A and B are shown apart, each in its own frame.
Chain A
Amino acid sequence: MEAVFIMLQRQVKLFFRSKPRILGSIAQPTLFLLALGLGFGPVFEQTGQVDYVQYLTPGIVGMSLLFGSMMNGMSLIWDKKFGFLKETLVAPASRISLLIGRCLGGAFTSMFQGIVVLTLSALIMGYSLGHPGVIPLFIIIMLMVAMLFSLLGTIIASRVDDFEAFPTVMNFLIMPMFFLSGAIFPIANLPPSVIAVTQINPMTYGVNLLRDTMNLEWSTSNITDAAVLLGIIALLLIIGSRVFKTIET
């Protein structure tokens, strides 16, 4: 259990010691928030739909979690290349605890990004949370979404050794997951074949659950969202523990 905490603490420390990482990770979602909110907001509202900032903000929070957590895998490649992974692999700590610690660390840093984005949206764009009482639940859901993508990014990174290839592989996965999740536009009116793709996209369930919680628009479908997210996390933990057991440096 302590190995989980140590790895988590290390990931968080490394993040907060790198000012460019903090700035970069906050700047990107903020740019999306401002550009889309100011650019598409009026168009969106003309169609008689809900307030676009209320719609967009949970999507951009989800985007912070997706991008930040998936890119957490980069630290594994870094540790493989520069040796720190080897130090942890010869330690008597279980591999699953190392994996969980690393991924929780990555999840926590991307949750920090999500909270900053939410705060900026509230301050600049006038976003209002459905009710302050949902904050604990919102944090739990953020943790679920962030952990899922942190695990996915780390598992992929465990099989990639190339620094330059990893961001390319990640972008190839992240961008479709982001655009086909309902984060920035509704997916209900998309062609049926595209809707089918959104149904197998874990980000769709994450964004849905985040938005409905933040805006107090719960429905029975949120039970499915939570069940799908938890199911995928469990599956990724099983895959990740196997992958980490056989990881060689």
Chain B
Amino acid sequence: MAEMATKMETAPETPPRVVEVNNLVKRFNGITAVDDITFEVKQGDIFAFLGPNGAGKSTSIKIMTTVLRPTSGAVAVNGYDVISQEREVRESIGVVFQEHTLDDYLTAFENLYYHCALYKVPRRERKERVNEMLNNIGLYDRRNHILKTFSGGMKRRIEIVRGLLHYPSILILDEPTTGLDAQTRFFLWNYIERVNRDYKVTIFLTSHNLEEIEKVSRHTAIIDNGKILANGTNKEIMDKTGANSLEKAFLEITGYSLRN
């Protein structure tokens, strides 16, 4: 009995699920954008959510981040229900949307400081936290410049650190590197991996750059026409299709035809 107890104590714990999506459906005016999908993301993972344009990725992310309400199904983030515990969900996540969501007419410092205030980061920590983050991405010297004068890559760096300002346990990134140059992409992927490794932040991301995703992510789900077509480790997905890269596996699963 004592031996069994010791075994139980030493048995590796399954990491808790940070995201749990069960039978999620979202319809817009009769069109089903997300069609009964179920998946989960474990704590500490780097989880890639892939799909062609219009597959249902951004809609799913909007539901996970409480921007949209599901038609049916259940979504829990950090154990909180996205409908009945919206505020708790929002407090515990960092989000970088596909499109630009900074205020171009505020300075870099103001954009980040206002975020701290909206997310209730203690007042005494805010200035230091913002400056530290700007320093991490090499933009401390530009902190008092209006964002209108920044390049797309600089704005993206700010958006990513903004998502981390309030110490979220999961960072949701919707196509974080679209339209960025190779140097910025290299910097961002390294930064994302560092955040995951050093600060134990779970990463949930979408991207069309599958070569980069293959290097960064540990688990992947592939969605198309609103349905999950594959879900597992990158190796499992590649083995299943006999492909030698994630991109090939993706094309085998979702098909080669163009999408409207």
Contact = CB atoms under 8 A, between A and B. Distances in A.
Given A83-B97, A248-B68, A92 B120 contact: yes
Contacts of B117: 2-3, 5-6
B119 A92 contact: yes
Nearest to B28: A248
B155 to A, nearest CB: 11
Interface stretch (A9-17, A28-36, A147-155, A185-193): A9-17
Interface string B193-234: 000000000000000000000000000000000000000000
A81 to B, nearest CB: 10
Interface in A125-175: none
B106 interface: yes
A82 B99 CA distance: 8
Given A90-B66, A249-B67, A3 B118 contact: yes
Interface residues of B, number: 28
11 contacts: A2-B120, A10-B114, A82-B100, A82-B104, A83-B97, A86-B101, A91-B119, A92-B87, A92-B119, A92-B120, A248-B67
A122 interface: no
A249 B69 CA distance: 12
Contacts of A83: 97, 99-102
Given A2-B117, A6-B114, A92-B119, 17 more contacts: A6-B117, A10-B114, A17-B146, A82-B100, A83-B97, A83-B99, A83-B101, A84-B103, A86-B99, A87-B102, A90-B90, A90-B95, A91-B118, A92-B87, A248-B67, A248-B68, A249-B67
B118 A86 contact: no
B65 interface: yes
Given A6-B114, A83-B99, A83-B100, A89 B105 contact: no
B106 A92 contact: no
Contacts of B110: 10, 13
B142 interface: no
A88 interface: yes
A93 B93 CA distance: 13
